[in-house]
Amino acid sequence: MKKTPLADTHEKLGARMVDFAGWYMPVQYIGLREEHNNVRTNVGLFDVSHMGEIRVKGPKAVETLEWLTTNDVSKLNDGEAQYSLLPNDQGGLVDDIIVYCLSKDSDYLVCVNASNKDKDFAWMTKHNKGSDMTDESDLWGQIAIQGPKALELCDRVFDIKVSEMKSFTVKSGTFKGHKIMIATTGYTGEKGCEVFVEAAGTADLWMTLLETGKDLGCMGIGLGARDTLRTEMKYSLYGHEIDDTTNPYEAGLGWVIKPAKKDFMNKAQIVGKKEAGLTRNLVGFKMLEKGIPRQGYSLFSFDNKEIGKVTSGTHSPTLDEPIGIAFIDVAYAKEGTEFLLDIRGRKVKAVVCKTPFVTK
Amino acid sequence: MAFHIPEDYYYTKEHEWAQVDENIVTVGITEFAQDQLGEVVYVELPEEGQKITQGQTFGVIESVKAVSDLYAPVSGTVIEVNASLGDDPSVLNDDPVNEGWLVRIEMDTEKELANLMRAPDYKKLISEK
């Protein structure tokens, strides 16, 4: 199993460690619900060092990224970040990513999912249009700081005034002599940022944040709460809402596809599917009867037609009720539409609802 | 972490306990199981009168993160179900070896008890986890 620079720190803090996509990661410290609620009310720290970082540099950097990604890289100025997608050659997705512009036209950092890093790097290398591309994943630790008190904590710890940064921007600096990049991005729906830090400084930064944020209720947050927090916001997770077969328009990601602006990998097939008419939508739903939705459960109409599949489901700690995300036939995708969910052979009523489940 | 593992109970390798009183067996999950599951939010149990078979699933327990099957420690007929768990499954986290019992079973044959673990063996099993 691969270890992040924080593995020993998690063990010392008493985290329960699990194998997550080949990484030795904390699933929880004191309990999922407590950690989840703490991020919604105070501030929490997430070890996201397992995420991959791929650096794309040189005069061909923009041309390469424009071809590889669906969003418009050319409009990014110094210090701006962008959510984007890597389309494959089958009409699906290699991954969902964030592109950081460190220096316009010449220096970009692409943050990719841990479970996809090797696949992504191989794919990007294969379709490189002459940029200088390197896998920097081992160089960087990454800590996400999220919650209503996150910015106050950041302003205590960093020279960079994070509270004055706009959303989806990135600034470079140092922490105790270690290089850092602070990005105002996140995966919880709360205020906060994600800090890339030179691997050797990761543990020191983690402990400094924990100590400095004690009076703000700062605590470590495991992968369990990371998943419930993102599900409440209906944020996609690769392997659940999106994979190598997903058309991004069906997954509600049309806002990061800019076909009018540029050409990109397999554009015709991705846009063509939209023009031909989408057959399914990604929706949020709630239960009208007892039971918890889980990935893979089937959705049925009242006349017993299979109309979809659950991509993510959990008991929402914030709402204290079950919530689910599913692909559903377009005819049933309207808010308020009732359907049946097959929970291990038992069919129970559920209803398409408004998302995000939790509004901030 | 010190778990309370009653000496007079029988145990399955899937972390159920069975307390035997003549031919009536009360079944629950161990403290180790609830600790591994995290916060329990839903329990699905059989109906009274249902027949269950040793080693087969007889219900489901769900925490926020995971779904776990429950395995019958012995074969027999369900004669009582802990109805209070439907309203408040958190009892399973607070007191899994007493208040958080799941079902009572009228056991078909005592012979099946030989297939179960006793407390010292069960302690050894979880110490290896």
Contact status, residue B119 vs residue B88, Cβ threshold 8 Å: no
B65 part of contact set with chain A, CB < 8 Å: yes
CB burial readout B80-107, b (16+ within 10 A) else e: ebbeebeeebebbbeebbeebbbbbbeb
CB contact under 8 A, B39 and A314: no
Domains along chain B with CATH numbers: 23-120 (2.40.50.100)
CB contact under 8 A, A291 and B42: yes
Residues of B with CB below 8 A from A294's CB? 67
Residue of B nearest to A323 (CA): B64
H helical segments located in chain A: 7-12, 32-41, 61-68, 117-126, 150-157, 202-212, 223-232, 267-276
A126 part of contact set with chain B, CB < 8 Å: no
CA distance A203 to A158: 15
A25: region left, alpha or beta (phi > 0 left; psi from -120 to 50 alpha): beta
Gyration radius from chain A CA atoms:
21
**Which secondary-structure segment (H or E) carries A313?**
strand A306-316
Percentage of the residues of chain B whose pLDDT score is greater than 70: 99
Sign of CA dihedral A292, A297, A299, A304: negative
A314 part of contact set with chain B, CB < 8 Å: yes
CB contact under 8 A, B41 and A291: no
Placement of tokens 């599951």 in the chain: B37
The domain ranges of chain A are 1-266, 279-352
Mean pLDDT by 10 residues, chain A (360 residues): 97 95 95 96 98 98 98 98 97 98 98 97 98 98 98 98 98 98 98 98 98 98 97 98 97 97 96 96 97 97 98 96 98 98 96 95
H helical segments located in B1-129: 31-37, 84-87, 91-94, 119-127
Phi, psi (degrees; rounded to nearest 5) at B16: -100, 150
Smallest CA–CA separation between A268 and chain B, in Å? 39
Q: Name the 3-class secondary structure at A172.
A: strand
Where residue B1 falls among pLDDT bands split at 50, 70, 90? low
Placement of tokens 């100590």 in the chain: A211
CA distance A159 to A319: 37
Q: Which tokens in the block code for residue B40?
A: 């329990």
Taking CA atoms, A26 is separated from A111, A212, A296, in Å, by 21, 21, 25
CA distance A315 to B63: 8
Right CATH number for A279-352 from 2.40.30.110, 3.30.70.890, 2.60.40.420, 2.60.120.1570?
2.40.30.110
CB contact under 8 A, B42 and A224: no
- Asked if the domains A1-266 and A279-352 are classified in one and the same CATH topology, the answer is no
**pTM of the model as a whole:** 0.93
CATH number for the domain formed by residue range(s) A1-266: 3.30.1360.120
Q: Which of B38, B44, B67 sits opposite A294 (nearest CB)?
A: B67
Gyration radius from chain B CA atoms:
13
Phi, psi (degrees; rounded to nearest 5) at A261: -85, -30
CB contact under 8 A, A315 and B64: yes
Q: Which tokens in the block code for residue A121?
A: 């790097």
In sequence order, what are the beta bridge partners of A25?
A18
In sequence order, what are the beta bridge partners of A125?
none
Nearest Cα to A338, choosing from A327, A351, A320?
A351
A345 part of contact set with chain B, CB < 8 Å: no
Contact status, residue A348 vs residue A341, Cβ threshold 8 Å: yes
A272 part of contact set with chain B, CB < 8 Å: no
Binding-site residues of A sit at 194
Nearest Cα to B10, choosing from B70, B73, B55?
B73
CB contact under 8 A, A31 and B64: no
Residue of B nearest to A14 (CA): B1
Taking CA atoms, A334 is separated from A28, A285, A303, A327, B38, in Å, by 36, 11, 18, 12, 35
Where residue B86 falls among pLDDT bands split at 50, 70, 90? confident
In angstroms, the first-to-last Cα distance of chain B is 12
Residue B66 confidence (pLDDT): 86
**Which secondary-structure segment (H or E) carries A325?**
strand A321-329
Q: Which of B38, B42, B67 sits opposite A32 (nearest CB)?
A: B38
User: Is there a cis peptide before residue A148, judged by omega within 30 degrees of 0?
Assistant: no
Residues of A with CB below 8 A from B67's CB? 292, 294
Give chain B's mean pLDDT. 94
Q: Which of B39, B42, B44 sits opposite A33 (nearest CB)?
A: B39
Q: What is the pLDDT of residues B21-79, one digit of tens each?
A: 999 999 999 999 999 998 899 999 999 999 999 999 999 999 988 899 999 999 999 99
Length of chain B: 129
Say which DSSP state B71 is in. E
Residues of B with CB below 8 A from A314's CB? 64-65
A126 Cβ contact list (under 8 Å, min separation 6): none
Residue A81 confidence (pLDDT): 98
Q: Which tokens in the block code for residue B21?
A: 């009183």
